[in-house]
Structure 1
């Protein structure tokens, strides 16, 4: 074999080797791209599933009151309540002490107030030592989803008061209090609670559905917010009205641990 032939053959082998190497590199690069593409697609699918799952969980949590029957709770005792405008008065007229309680059915702090002090208040009312004037206010009317539970529940409680069931209705709504920012109870659920408590009067559902006391409740909220005697200092440095507020003789008092004992022991104006 001559030198020229050997050189030609060598060049051909080198070309074949370069071609095979290029194909291997191309295949490897193509595989890397495909791997990255698959990984990216999988990541997008997992993220989408997480987002969808989060939305479903959030909606479920937000709407957890939907379709629920509000528990009626324990019997409220034997002391009757009387509606006086948008204030409900419970207790004997000759009770030693009288307090005004301002609250909102959606207010978390009001729920805690009822849990902590409600039994003591009921006990003193039953004993004839305490008279309670309850003002249920639509303070957080925009803080439910959909808005309006704060006002609907306050109105429904006054409708229940017209049938002598205010205390039972009041206690049941606080016992099963919805979470602020989420769905409250709708009017049908509020009507069902009243009926479960023994209200048979056809005027009750009509009162709830019509929002009979809505205007008066809104006016009472404005009055309370602008009453100098009900202004309090808050931890953030703000001064104003908030719920829950307890007042004696028109003046807000400090809700320390022994506030009720102090009220009962103090000379009444």
Structure 2
């Protein structure tokens, strides 16, 4: 038997080289096809991620820049007017483009018109409320005065990013809308539990607990939802802007420059915030009637 001859059936060197070239060409073609498929998948994946990111951004923008809704009921003047018997004066809610409706002072001149612009994070507002709330309640309850509370949020940036000032003012608007006769008690409760500037302030759960403590029962679930949704956020911002830009109705004071801004019959109180006797004397002077520091029941002016 002959071994290694030309008839052994093995491919020649040239045949092996051609086969190697064909195999390499096939591998390159397959790799190019694979690369193209991968590029398509990557581009498709990027497109899907991009669309998802755009959708998320759009959702955030929609939620953060919601169209302004109607303002709260019973705050057509941007404040809650509380009259004899500590009963809130009822008004309809206003559309965002509607003008505010200023409250009309007593035409007889025998009822003191007290208005307070306050921020729930303002420590000076808390001083005034704690010192004067009891006597204001006596005056209003007896019919000797009215008090109108205007919540504003000029200290929103001073609560470690939680926007406490704005959230508290929104909660006050929620109470005014659903349970206006409990507004003054809730207003006092917010000041009694006032956090310090620069802190996170009360969270929404703590604010809702104060609503319940203020005596709200019938509309509690609606108010809680209103707080969670910051329903009147845009209204708080707009009403604060109106107070800062003016004009303030029924007064020669053009606009507020800080809080508290306290007006009695259109005149601004600039005395000690923590001295109830000084404030009572100012009420007497501004109202043009004689009031005692305990019960400001009008007395007739002696004949000259």
1:109 deviates by 0.7
- In the TM superposition, structure 1's runs of 4+ consecutive aligned residues that sit over 4 Å from their partners are none
Number of the residue aligned with 1:35: none
Pairs within 5 Å for 1:122-201: 122-161=137-176, 162-163=178-179, 164-196=181-213, 197-201=215-219
> Are residue 88 (structure 1) and residue 103 (structure 2) matched?
no
Is the Cα–Cα contact under 8 Å of residues 224 and 230 in structure 1 kept in the other structure?
Answer: no
Is the Cα–Cα contact under 8 Å of residues 103 and 136 in structure 1 kept in the other structure?
Answer: yes
Indicate how the Cα distance of structure 1 residues 124 and 184 shifts in structure 2: closer, same or farther if over 3 A, else same: same
Structure 2 unaligned blocks of 5 or more = 1-72, 85-104, 289-304
Number of the residue aligned with 2:33: none
The secondary structure found in structure 1 opposite 2:74 is strand
Number of the residue aligned with 1:53: none
Query: Which whole-Å CA distance do the structure 1 matches of 2:138 and 2:265 have between them?
Result: 21
1:108 to 123, 127, 149: 123
Taking structure 2 as the reference length, the TM-score comes to: 0.54
1:91 deviates by 1.6
After superposition, the CA RMSD in angstroms is 2.4
Number of the residue aligned with 1:247: 263
2:283 to 238, 263, 267: 263
Question: Aligned residues, how many?
Answer: 180
1:218 deviates by 1.1
Indicate how the Cα distance of structure 1 residues 255 and 212 shifts in structure 2: closer, same or farther if over 3 A, else same: farther
Q: What does the per-residue CA deviation read over 1:191-240, in whole Å, with 9 as the maximum and x for residues that have no partner?
A: 222234333422111111121222122111111112264469xxxxxxx6
Number of the residue aligned with 1:34: none
Pick which of 87-96 and 212-221 moved more.
Answer: 87-96
Is the Cα–Cα contact under 8 Å of residues 99 and 248 in structure 1 kept in the other structure?
Answer: yes
Indicate how the Cα distance of structure 1 residues 267 and 204 shifts in structure 2: closer, same or farther if over 3 A, else same: closer
1:250 deviates by 4.3
Query: Which whole-Å CA distance do the structure 2 matches of 1:264 and 1:212 have between them?
Result: 39
Structure having the higher helix fraction is: 1
Indicate how the Cα distance of structure 1 residues 230 and 145 shifts in structure 2: closer, same or farther if over 3 A, else same: farther
Is the Cα–Cα contact under 8 Å of residues 90 and 133 in structure 1 kept in the other structure?
Answer: yes
Query: Which whole-Å CA distance do the structure 1 matches of 2:127 and 2:254 have between them?
Result: 21
1:207 to 226, 242, 246: 226
Pick which of 207-216 and 127-136 moved more.
Answer: 207-216
Structure 1 unaligned blocks of 5 or more = 1-81, 233-239
Taking structure 1 as the reference length, the TM-score comes to: 0.60
